[in-house]
Amino acid sequence: MRIVIIWVLVLVGFQFQMSTSHVSEISRKSFSEGFVFGTATSAYQYEGAAKEDGRGPTIWDKFSHSFGNIIDFSNADFTVDQYHRYNEDIQLMKDMGMDAYRFSIAWSRIFPNGSGEINQAGIDHYNNLINALLAKGIVPYVTLYHWDLPQALADKYNGWLNPQIIKDFAIYAETCFQKFGDRVKHWITFNEPHTFVIQGYDLGLHAPGRCSINIFCKAGNSATEPYIVTHNVLLAHATVVDIYRKRYKSKQHGALGISLDVSWYKPLSNSTKNIEATQRALDFQLGWFMDPLFFGDYPSSMKNRVGSRLPTFSKAEAYLVRGSLDFVGINHYTTSYVKSNSTDLIGIPVNDSIADSGAIILPYKSGQPIGERAASVWLYIFPEGIRSLMNYIKHKYGNPLVIITENGMDDPNDPFTSFKDAIQDKKRIKYHSSYLSNLLASIKEDGCNVRGYFAWSLTDNWEWSAGYTSRFGLYFVDYKDNLKRYPKQSVQWFKNFLTS
């Protein structure tokens, strides 16, 4: 009974208390000494140079070049060309006063075929990037996997659906430790596994485009594949952490974590059904990964509702997975309402992880949006959500070390918006200011153990299935004029925030 009361307080009671608390006039000095501020990117969205220096094709190359998968029919062959312009972009970070840069390594630049022979040109590129960051006093935070699986492994054995991927990912990760670990002290194994599992293996809207509930999917099983992929991802993560701790940590003194995408959820009403559905929504997004990492097993709601379709951990696997992280990376953008779904997804009999949760996610209540919308249809601005989420993690998982590895909002890439108006991003300034204020309150007033914040993203870039229709960057990229970078107003805001 006590546990039920605690979660009612977390899901409902904290909402009012937190929404009435705010922090004004914040700056870097408002945060504790050593708190890290940075920007975040990913290789596939930024690098370009898709066919240069031995890089092998990825599942996103195949997916983005297949007709109809990207809203503006674009691809990331060139994107913002950071592969060649990293020195310029590092100077932009330095000018803002950022402490750190979170980027990902493209697996297919290290192993063009996913395994086998190492591509030295790829090693050289990331050595040069890391050295250039350190020369400017910027700390590298390296993500090993940001969705760009080498196509060769998908062709060979269906990638993340096959346990063989655990071994190949471990070899790739250990190669990165060997080549870069003397300078990289902060590693993130996976970025947003929940997103690439759901979008890639349940809905079929992201690479590799597998599903059984979408008529455009040519292969897949939405009822089972998301759970199989997640299980292999967790075991791959834990295997890599185990390798690092046994072979490299004593010499390299680094830390490993994982970045999880997490929305905050509010019950549509205070009814028991909606409160329980809100907890299930959290279980099927955050708990799906956090519970195994902290408790060695999946949430009970998932086991009860998914049944035999949910893989099980052996005792040895549970021991390996539990505790296999030094920090939790949280990618947080938005908050939604939750309503209990007592039937199936929109009333249609479906077996998939979304229907399994028995929770309907809604941005509106009584016709009113939960907050102002950004350009993306899923991103509604609700700053208090980050504070509620930090408290939820604190109470459920024992206040682990958390780093906000992504937070930000997008504007539309509107051809009718003038350049002058595009760089006047007052909404973005308000977004970061208000989210950081609530994050600070979670630390100072609530005692949440948060040590870093990475804004997504450094520049405008290629935004997966949205292509170039969405602009998340602090810097505006002119796609029509040699990809020139221009500071938006938010750059000056961050400069003032970080230097005051």
Beta-strand pair 364-365/368-369: antiparallel
150 phi, psi to nearest 5 deg? -55, 130
The secondary element (H helix, E strand) that includes residue 190 is strand 186-191
Tell me the sheet residues that pair with 411. 471
Between CA 171 and CA 443 the distance in angstroms is: 38
| Residue 384 falls in the annotated catalytic set | no
Distance of CA 126 to the CA centre of its chain: 21
Q: If you count them, how many residues does the chain have?
A: 500
The closest alpha carbon to 239, from 113, 126, 145, belongs to: 145
Q: Which one of the listed residues 192, 276, 317, 463 is annotated catalytic?
A: 192
Catalytic residue, candidates 225, 384, 406, 463 = 406
**Dihedral angle at the C-alpha atoms of 245, 246, 252, 253, nearest 10 degrees?**
40
192 is known as an active-site residue:
yes
d(CA 280, CA 198): 16
SS (H, E, C) 399-446: CCCEEEEEECCCEECCCCCCHHHHCCCHHHHHHHHHHHHHHHHHHHCC
Would you please indicate which residues are annotated as catalytic (active-site) residues? 192, 406
